[in-house]
Amino acid sequence: MEFKEVKIPAGDLITYENGKLVIGDNPIIGVLRGDGIGLDITPVMQTVVDAAVGKAYDGKRAIAWCPIYSGLEGLQRYGSEFPEESVEAIRYLKIAIKGPFTTPIGEETHVCLHCAHQQYHGGKCDKCGKDDGVCERFRSINVRFRQHLDLFACVRPVKYFKGVPSPNKYADKVDFVIFRENTEDVYAGYDFERGSDTAKAIIELIKEKTGREIRPDSGIGVKPISEFGTKRLVRKALEWAKNNNLPSVTLVHKGNIMKFTEGSFAKWGYELAAEDFGDTFVTEKALWDEMDGKMPAGKILIKDRIADSIFQQIQTRPGEYSVLALPNLNGDYMSDAAIALVGGLGLGPGANMSDEVALFEATHGTAPKYTGMDKVNPGSIILSAEMMLRHMGWTEAADMILHGVEKAITDGHVTYDLARLMKGEGREDVTEVSCSGFGQAIIDRMS
Ligand code: NAD
């Protein structure tokens, strides 16, 4: 395939055959630097991954990185922050990893992709003075990647790292992966203003069809959840549990209140498990009705929980959960609440996936005031790369990175953000290191 700016390096193109990724020893993987501190964290991530892969496979495997340009780099190369070519290149390569991208949030008409400053004119940035980074306001680059590539599953592993100050007594038991549906529910929802023709028409229709009264001064929201959307998300969660030998999958919903959206999410999830995974999964009902509560060896438990109770459970009994599958809105709340359990830090990794394409990402923003200072914590993108290696089946290299991160933190070789918190907890043996220094600390501790 020919691209204008993207140069495909020598290596093995990843393919998708019979429902599986086929990955050679030199896979070509897309890398999008991102804006702001993407400049600092992305190269550190690449160095750490290269070291882990080299060490784990004795030089027999290596990643061929393929730079892809969006955000500031897209603007400078193509004149657009979201070039079509970047979408096509990710689609072509099937796996990519990215830093954070600037997203305009205010009402100003222009934003600077160097420093995220927003203003009412193009040309030179009023804050940083640069004249090659200001562009007209746009919709989130992250959201557009998700939509253009139909990345329907947002995957967020949440894990406690020993030594990180956490507000939760049971933080050390937290080690689960959240699968949040990315295309339906409120993301595909409609919101109609009170008094609008549509809101009035819906209120009348509901009265006519069900006899129920809705107050006429109500705004009306519609949230679709489909069988198709649910099953493809739950399939991903079940596959993850199976491929990573995890003990359970929990379907989270609010079906006690909304039977045909939230409730159906759980119903279709159970159906899918039975249809596609045979007897790999045991339902909680079968476990107690037929097996006296004794889980058969090699099987995975599938259970469901009401959304409000799961927010208690992840705090009081986090060890009972390993994979959680949720519709969009509850998944949004859950992702942030869960990260808070383990210290609320920018260490959390993430990815957005379809069946064929996976885009791994740093989950924090561009933190522009730290750009180019080699200061910030590259943990989020490094752990996203660790997740990417697992997705590729390169678990030995992934384990090396995980071990390196764990050891660097327990040894107290950490960036300023963690150093401040750890010192605040009274630890005296903390060595504050730079962004690249943290990468080196991980490499030095890989085993
Ligand atoms: P942010 O996450 O960039 O920064 C908030 C604060 O968190 C920073 O000032 C810094 O103190 C800290 N921080 C963030 N990442 C860190 C790291 N790796 N190491 C140490 N400290 C870190 O959030 P913001 O300031 O609200 O947003 C800045 C820009 O990033 C905005 O344009 C926003 O839209 C965008 N953003 C992008 C993403 C993404 O691409 N996934 C996510 C969130 C925000």
**Residues contacting residue 95 through CB under 8 Å, at least 6 positions apart:** 14, 21, 27, 29, 30, 357, 358, 360, 388, 391, 392
User: From ligand 1's centre to the CA of 387, what distance in Å?
Assistant: 21
Instruction: Name the amino acid, one letter, at 249.
Output: V
Please indicate, yes or no, if residue 134 is contained in any of the structural domains. Answer: no
- Say whether both 22 and 85 belong to one domain: yes
pLDDT at 447 over 90: no
Q: Which atom of ligand 1 is nearest to the CA of 116?
A: 32
pLDDT per residue as tens digits for the range 409-437: 999 999 999 999 999 989 899 999 999 99
Whole-angstrom Cα distance, residue 61 to residue 64? Answer: 10
- Say whether both 83 and 231 belong to one domain: no
Please indicate, yes or no, if residue 64 is contained in any of the structural domains. Answer: yes
Number of domains in the chain: 3
Instruction: Name the amino acid, one letter, at 363.
Output: T
pTM of the model: 0.93
Which domain range does residue 8 map to? 1-103+140-157+345-447
In testing the pocket of ligand 1, which one of 366, 371, 417, 418 has its CB within 8 Å of the most ligand atoms?
366
Domain harbouring 72, CATH code: 3.40.718.10
Please indicate, yes or no, if residue 87 is contained in any of the structural domains. Answer: yes
Residues classed as catalytic: 187, 254, 308, 332
Residue list, ligand 1 pocket, CB within 6 Å = 37, 100-103, 105, 116, 142, 346, 361, 364-367, 376-377, 380, 417
- Say whether both 306 and 358 belong to one domain: no
- Say whether both 294 and 350 belong to one domain: no
- Say whether both 309 and 284 belong to one domain: yes
Contact assessment for residue 325 and residue 252, using Cβ atoms and an 8 Å cutoff:
yes
Alpha carbons within 13 angstroms on the beta-carbon side of residue 161 total: 27
Please indicate, yes or no, if residue 123 is contained in any of the structural domains. Answer: no
Please indicate, yes or no, if residue 120 is contained in any of the structural domains. Answer: no
Instruction: Tell me the three state secondary structure of residue 91.
Output: helix
Name the helix (H) or strand (E) containing 248.
Answer: strand 248-253
Report residue 386 as tokens: 């660790």
- Say whether both 85 and 14 belong to one domain: yes
Binned at pLDDT 50, 70 and 90, residue 345 comes out as low
Q: What single string gives the DSSP state of each residue in 328-345?
A: HHHHHHHHHHHHHHTT--
User: From ligand 1's centre to the CA of 100, what distance in Å?
Assistant: 8
The one-character DSSP state at 23 is -
Whole-angstrom Cα distance, residue 113 to residue 101? Answer: 8
Whole-angstrom Cα distance, residue 309 to residue 374? Answer: 42
Binned at pLDDT 50, 70 and 90, residue 166 comes out as confident
User: Measured at the alpha carbon of residue 152, what is the angle toward residues 36 and 318, in degrees to the nearest 5?
Assistant: 85
- Say whether both 68 and 47 belong to one domain: yes
Q: Which of 326, 341, 356 is the last residue of a domain?
A: 341
Q: Which of 306, 341, 376 is the last residue of a domain?
A: 341
Residue of 356, 304, 359, 301 lying closest to 327 (CA atoms): 304
In the prediction, which pLDDT does 278 show? 87
Binned at pLDDT 50, 70 and 90, residue 405 comes out as very high
- Say whether both 214 and 233 belong to one domain: no
- Say whether both 323 and 355 belong to one domain: no
Please indicate, yes or no, if residue 129 is contained in any of the structural domains. Answer: no
User: From ligand 1's centre to the CA of 68, what distance in Å?
Assistant: 21
pLDDT per residue as tens digits for the range 32-83: 999 999 999 999 999 999 999 999 999 999 999 999 999 999 999 999 999 9
Please indicate, yes or no, if residue 124 is contained in any of the structural domains. Answer: no
Whole-angstrom Cα distance, residue 331 to residue 335? Answer: 6
Q: Find residue 22's DSSP bridge partners.
A: 15
User: From ligand 1's centre to the CA of 368, what distance in Å?
Assistant: 8
- Say whether both 424 and 379 belong to one domain: yes
- Say whether both 312 and 385 belong to one domain: no
Please indicate, yes or no, if residue 110 is contained in any of the structural domains. Answer: no
Whole-angstrom Cα distance, residue 1 to residue 89? Answer: 9
**Residues contacting residue 437 through CB under 8 Å, at least 6 positions apart:** 413, 415
Q: Nearest C-alpha to atom 37 of ligand 1 is from which residue? A: 365
Q: Which of 317, 341, 365 is the last residue of a domain?
A: 341
pLDDT per residue as tens digits for the range 308-334: 999 999 999 999 999 999 999 999 999
- Say whether both 364 and 427 belong to one domain: yes
